[in-house]
Chains A and B, each alone.
Chain A
Amino acid sequence: MFVYALKEAFSTMQRAKLTSCAATITLTVCLFLLGLFMMAYVNTNGILANIRERVQIEAFLSDQVDQKGALALADSIRSFPPVKTVSYVNKTMALDAFRQHFGDEALQVLEVNPLPASLKIEFQEKDRTFSRVKEMAPLVANLPGVVEVEYGQQWLSKLDRLLSTVGAMTLILGVILASSSVLVVAATIRLAFHMRKEAVEIMKLVGAAPGFIARPFILEGAIYGFLGALFGLILLGLLYTVLSSRMAGVFFLTPALLVGLLIFGTLLGSLGSIVSLRTLRR
């Protein structure tokens, strides 16, 4: 039965080559764009995850806090559950680090070391989120001896917003592209149905099961969806090859997402057929 349905589906596709090509191309474009946005999301997420790895609070200490006081402070911060490690950076270490980054000349004119001592606070893996850091920062800032805390609040919140925006855009675009794909397949299947109208009428007349009649059409839609997703992914792969040769650290879709997109395309195509058949039945 499946072989029969498959043969019928391919035979209709062959008879309506132009329409079949148009449907496949439209689905390819739709699924390529969807894949592109998914790739953008994956990459933004990757960058953010990478940055999150390095999320930490730097608490700058007053010059009045000596090493003993700083270590006591570090101990009290360590007692917060999200905190993993607290390391003390005294004024000399801060100056050395500064020199390493910017060279000796920058501070030569100054007679005193202007850089404050600080405590570098790193978080447990699960707590390396912007919201958790934002929650912790005022607690640390209110400790005696801490004059300022720094955790890259501005860029971290910007990145979080960017990720949400890309995610929302992917979702909206996904809905629009999915609807368009369904409509394109529905129109193509409608045409296929009219091409096979006589055969369908005979099938009804002689008592073919409704599922048997519908199967070739659903399969045809599924083939458009699958081919659209496959070609869309091939285009995406080519784009990735070009991009990764020019930019470092670009991620492609994960294998799970690749398979997911293929399944999604196939389901979209089938859904288009079902929509079409339901309208025709009415």
Chain B
Amino acid sequence: MKEDGVILEVSGVSKIYDRKWVALRDLNFHVRRGEFVLLVGSCGAGKTTLMRLITREESATAGTIRVAGEDVSTMDRRDIFRLRRKLGLVFQDGKLLKDRTTFENIAFALKVTGARKKEISKKVMRALTMVGLAHKSSCLPGQLSAGEQQRVVIARALANKPILLLADEPTGNLDSEVSSGILDLFGKINRFGTAILLATHDANLAKGFPHRRIELVDGQIS
């Protein structure tokens, strides 16, 4: 990590598809350690594209993205998994394994990243406690509400203690009351020191948000 505490640094990033469709144009911003940044923009503004560039699901056409000082844009494909271990990812479609319990879903994420068996149980319960679902550790996803399922996804993203939590429309499928609860949960997580970059199109959600906001309009920061 850089000494100035910058965890995510986006410099001059552009993404152009098929040489003509400009999804992102010359983005410049950063997220510091422990910071909570809201990325607001309407559908098609380029929020998801930016998230995909940060996680290196796609490569930027121009510019550099640094996560904890490491240049993501030039990272070898074989090393991308190391980058993802540093990040916690929460998406609208949380992707939980339907045939595994809440506990097993989170344990699975730890297991596949090489966590020791002894640590897994402790880490899973800590993450579930953080999202307030410790009592539902043996429930299958189908037995949980949409809001609870999203909390499990957040717990899974948290379990590995990421340096940066990336959330792309985490409340997209939820009603306003549940959404507000999820946003509160992110606030709580942030207070424990995890940096968060949360993308949303929901202007109401952004209202009264006490942290820094970046507005994205047609692929540019306005």
Q: What is the interface of chain A mostly: helix, strand, loop, or mixed?
A: helix
Evaluate whether A201 and B95 lie within 8 angstroms (CB atoms) in the complex, with A206-B160, A208-B112 already known. Answer: yes
- Give B74-98 interface residues, CB cut-off 8 Å to A: 78, 81-87, 89, 95, 97
Instruction: Answer yes or no: B133 CB below 8 A from chain A CBs.
Output: no
Evaluate whether A212 and B97 lie within 8 angstroms (CB atoms) in the complex, with A205-B89, A207-B84, A207-B85 already known. Answer: no
Bound Cα distance from A204 to B84, whole angstroms: 8
- Give B13-66 interface residues, CB cut-off 8 Å to A: none
- Give A190-210 interface residues, CB cut-off 8 Å to B: 198-199, 201-210
Bound Cα distance from A199 to B104, whole angstroms: 12
Q: What is the interface of chain B mostly: helix, strand, loop, or mixed?
A: helix
Bound Cα distance from A213 to B112, whole angstroms: 8
Residue in B81, B111, B114 whose Cβ sees the most chain A Cβ within 10 Å: B81
- Give A63-107 interface residues, CB cut-off 8 Å to B: none
Q: Nearest residue in B to A200 (C-beta to C-beta)?
A: B112
Instruction: Answer yes or no: B6 CB below 8 A from chain A CBs.
Output: no
Residue in A4, A201, A210 whose Cβ sees the most chain B Cβ within 10 Å: A210
**Count of chain B residues near A, Cβ 8 A:** 20
Contact between chains at A209 and B81 (CB < 8 Å): yes
* Chain B min CB distance to A96 (Å): 81
Bound Cα distance from A209 to B85, whole angstroms: 10
Contact between chains at A206 and B156 (CB < 8 Å): yes
Give every chain B residue within 8 A of A205 (Cβ-Cβ). 84, 89, 95
Q: Nearest residue in B to A196 (C-beta to C-beta)?
A: B97
Bound Cα distance from A202 to B111, whole angstroms: 12
Instruction: Answer yes or no: B109 CB below 8 A from chain A CBs.
Output: yes
Contact between chains at A208 and B95 (CB < 8 Å): no
Instruction: Out of A198, A201, A202, A208, name the residue touching B81 (CB < 8 Å).
Output: A208
What string of 1s and 0s marks CB contacts (under 8 Å) between A205-230 and chain B?
Answer: 11111101100000000000000000
Bound Cα distance from A212 to B110, whole angstroms: 13
- Give A81-139 interface residues, CB cut-off 8 Å to B: none
A residues in contact (CB < 8 Å) with B: 1, 4, 198-199, 201-210, 212-213
Query: Could you show 12 A-B contacts with beta carbons less than 8 Å apart?
Result: A198-B95, A199-B97, A199-B108, A203-B112, A206-B84, A206-B85, A206-B109, A206-B160, A207-B81, A207-B85, A207-B86, A212-B114
The 5 closest A-B pairs by CB, nearest first: A207-B84, A207-B85, A208-B112, A206-B109, A207-B81
